Amino acid sequence: MGIVAGLDSSSAFTHIVVCDTDTGAVLRQGYAAHPVEAKATEVDPQAWLLSLGEAASGGVLEGVEAIGVSAQQHGLVPLDRQGNLVRPALLGNDRRAQASAADLIDGLGGRQAWAEAVGSVPQAAQAVAKLRWLARTEPENARHVAAVLQPHDWLVWQLLGRPARRTTDRGAASGTGYWSAGSGSYRPDLVELALGHQAALPEVLGPADTAGTTPEGLLISAGTGEIMAAAFGLGVAAGDAVVSLGASGSVMAVHHEALADPRGMITSFADATGMHLPVVHTSNAVRALRGTAEMLGLDGGPEELSELALKSTPGASGLVLLPYLEGERTPRLPHAAGTLSGLRRESMRPEHLARAAFEGMLCSLTDALDVLRDRGVEVRRVFLLGAAAELPAVRALAPAVFGTQVVVPQPEQYAALGAARQAAWALGVSRGTLDPRTPPAWRGAAAQVLEPGDEVAVGRAVRQQYAATRDQIHPGAFGAGDTV
């Protein structure tokens, strides 16, 4: 038996899990909050190291032979020629680069040109947009940028003692806006377009590669971004989709190839196994439930709204809520507002509005699923993540609306577990006991499995009612064949 560790440095904390290399059983854990505000948009990366040190205190890493690193995505760590910080790191939640992203889209000739080049259309969160923002608003700092890293790249580099070789992985690189998951290569011309000059970019490692060994002899695996690590920790594979329920929503699925989408609705990430993770985002998920609960005066929020919704019937007596409260990304309706349709005397009851909110949220996410399905992505089951996945109304409605088996995993630190699994893989490959093409077979996540059963036809009717309202109010929002 060997021992490995997975380290997840999120936007707010560092979580470490120490696991058995053969089974993935968690032996011990460490945790520490970051010494900065969770909502900060820029930070000195030393804060990540301080948090890491605290999480690893008390002998958490004793006996560990290899470490995998997962970290928050879309951060930008700009370095000068000596490897020193040019300025504090810019984080993924920094939206100041929105105008810069629009400039870049025009600069390359439009959304389709970007989708074909790197599999995504620039967004404010991406590193490429942050580089353009830096060049436009802090030109003196921009001139000193000689190398660019992301948070997990920087942490790996620090753990290895700041060697001359800097590395990243396919997953993190695919979110930058200047590396293509389709071609497996950088587009340095896009870095120059954004920054105004070239900058050194980290070497992109394969899933089972080793970034290096620490002075103490610890093997450090390639590492990856938080989304890719969580998918690896969950054990999702081809045929699986993951629906994440936050204030906004996201849908991703494991696929055998990168998908270029000229509409920009699909972001073509790479995963942590050598496959691909196309992702579709929605701007509104749980925020629609919270807003409806507030409108109905429910102090219990989504939990009380769930109880009320289950007193209604499928289709909410004809009431349809389009949950585009903050505009929408899928379909691309940035200036849209939410719509409540189907008001009749018999439908004007609190329980019907409550149900319409849940059906609207789930139908919107199914629209996102259909964007992937229409591009040939197979979806045999859906993993449902987020606190809202525990709501009885979500569990009751999701299998029928999605039209497939729904898996609700037990809450765990899946990103840290994915990082640990990657460490076990790299360690096994380095010793010749594992195939670099096949990750270790750890036991899957403990989960509740929900089947659609006889409710598939009911779910289809709810979807058709929603789609009819959507297409009437926003005709052409989806192209032909995009959704039901």
pLDDT of 38 reads: 59
Residue type, 177: G
Say yes or no: do domains 3-222 and 235-409+452-484 share a fold: yes
Instruction: State the DSSP code for 260.
Output: -
pLDDT of 261 reads: 85
User: What class does CATH assign to 235-409+452-484?
Assistant: alpha beta
CA distances (Å), origin 269, targets 169, 172, 175, 275, 381: 11, 8, 6, 9, 20
| 70: phi then psi, degrees, rounded to nearest 5 | -115, 145
Contact between residue 401 and residue 362 where contact means Cβ atoms under 8 Å apart: yes
Which residue has 């289709």 as its token pair? 315
| 185: phi then psi, degrees, rounded to nearest 5 | -145, 160
How many other β-carbons are positioned within 10 Å of the β-carbon of residue 433? Answer: 11
Q: What's this model's pTM, rounded to 2 decimal places?
A: 0.92
pLDDT of 36 reads: 73
Three-class secondary structure of residue 179 per DSSP: strand
- In order along its 484 residues, the chain shows pLDDT tens digits of 699 999 999 988 999 999 999 999 999 999 999 987 757 899 999 999 999 999 999 999 999 999 999 999 999 999 999 999 999 999 998 989 999 999 999 999 999 999 999 999 999 999 999 999 999 999 999 999 999 999 999 999 999 999 999 999 999 999 999 999 999 999 999 999 999 999 999 999 999 999 999 989 999 999 999 999 999 999 999 999 999 999 999 999 999 999 988 787 899 999 999 999 999 999 999 999 999 999 999 999 999 999 999 999 999 999 999 999 999 999 999 899 999 999 999 999 999 999 999 999 999 999 999 999 999 999 999 999 999 999 999 999 999 999 999 999 998 999 999 999 999 999 999 999 999 999 999 988 889 999 998 899 999 999 999 999 999 999 999 864 445 4
Q: May I ask the CATH architecture of the domain 3-222?
A: 2-Layer Sandwich (3.30)
The residues facing 79 across adjacent strands are 85, 147
The H or E element that residue 42 is part of is strand 42-43
Helices marked H in 196-327 — which ranges? 226-234, 286-295, 301-309
- Sequence-ordered list of residues with C-beta below 8 angstroms from that of 132, at least 6 positions apart, any chain: 97, 100, 101, 103, 104, 193, 194, 195
| The token pair that represents 172 in the structure block | 């993190």
The residues facing 3 across adjacent strands are 20
* Cα gap 226→151, rounded to integer Å: 10
Number of alpha carbons in the 13 Å side-chain half-sphere of residue 310? 13
Q: Name the nearest CA neighbour of 207 among 421, 10, 442, 25.
A: 421
- Length of the chain (residues): 484
Instruction: State the DSSP code for 423.
Output: H
Q: Where are the domains positioned within the chain?
A: 3-222, 235-409+452-484
- Dihedral, 131, 179, 229, 146 alpha carbons, nearest 10: -40
| The token pair that represents 106 in the structure block | 């025009």
